[in-house]
Homo-oligomer: A and B are copies of this chain.
């Protein structure tokens, strides 16, 4: 029944056209757990430096997130700083200070090795593989990655693909990894390299789940204001995996529904800076947004449409 996330717990300094936050809670494991814990207990494996404001993670503990797998090491925590363009569609990294994260080699505590549901946050694919080597028999392993690893750890990433069940990438990453511009071909390429399920995230345009025999679309939730896109992808993954773990099933019907939880959580994440909106979020609000998605996509086919011609 366990849902394990391995990733970063960081401090983000972010500037968007709407403001700036300094040293706010960030990192893939933080966003993921904040989202997933609305639906299922989560266990985190990560590393922080001796300067990390661990008390700020108490909201996660109150939601049943097990933080005992966060190692605290002498040194600086992982810090990232970036600035977004006026339309929030691109961002520039101003500074990355890895700190203790540089030598992070995730050791999974024995009690967590039996987890059924695993999310490998965006870290070196060698380390993602190292995590999987320690796991007993997970039912679904989902994996994130980024342009950096596609560039400099391509072989390790390709070795990882057959070992994970689901790869989550954005459209640019899908294209870069596969060398295919067309997203359907890109997803088929990834599936042909061993990963059965592929989710391509397209920001405001939603996300597409490629299954072996079917494709499913989740729209992006139409927001009048987007404050900070940081962490939206990890919140998506958290909504998706939290729902799947809660449903206890990877049936296609449940995966489709999980896409809506992912898209809902991604949309909440960007409404405020950092994890702020996820901290205040209630499960009922998520269910409302999922119901809104249904209203925005549901239609019935009419099989008696009169063929005028042809």
Contact A294:B299 (CB < 8 A) given known A224-B182, A310-B282: yes
Which B residues touch A225, using CB under 8 A?
182
Across the two chains, which residue of chain B brings its CB closest to A290? B301
Across the two chains, which residue of chain B brings its CB closest to A295? B214
Which B residues touch A310, using CB under 8 A?
38, 63, 281-284
Contact B283 A309 (CB under 8 A): yes
Across the two chains, which residue of chain B brings its CB closest to A255? B299
Assembly of this chain: how many copies? 2
Kindly identify, within residues 144 to 192 of chain A, every residue whose CB is under 8 Å from any CB belonging to chain B.
181-185
Quick check: is A94 within 8 A (CB to CB) of the other chain?
no
Contact B301 A38 (CB under 8 A): no
A contact face: mostly helix, strand, loop, or mixed:
loop
28 A-B pairs (CB sep. < 8 Å)? A40-B308, A64-B308, A182-B224, A183-B204, A184-B223, A184-B224, A206-B219, A214-B296, A215-B222, A215-B296, A216-B297, A216-B299, A217-B297, A246-B308, A253-B300, A256-B299, A257-B301, A282-B307, A282-B310, A283-B305, A283-B307, A283-B309, A283-B310, A287-B303, A287-B305, A291-B301, A294-B299, A294-B300
> Footprint of B on A, CB under 8 Å?
37-41, 62-64, 86-87, 181-185, 202, 204-206, 208, 214-217, 219, 222-226, 242-243, 246-247, 253, 256-257, 259-260, 281-284, 287, 290-291, 294-303, 305-310
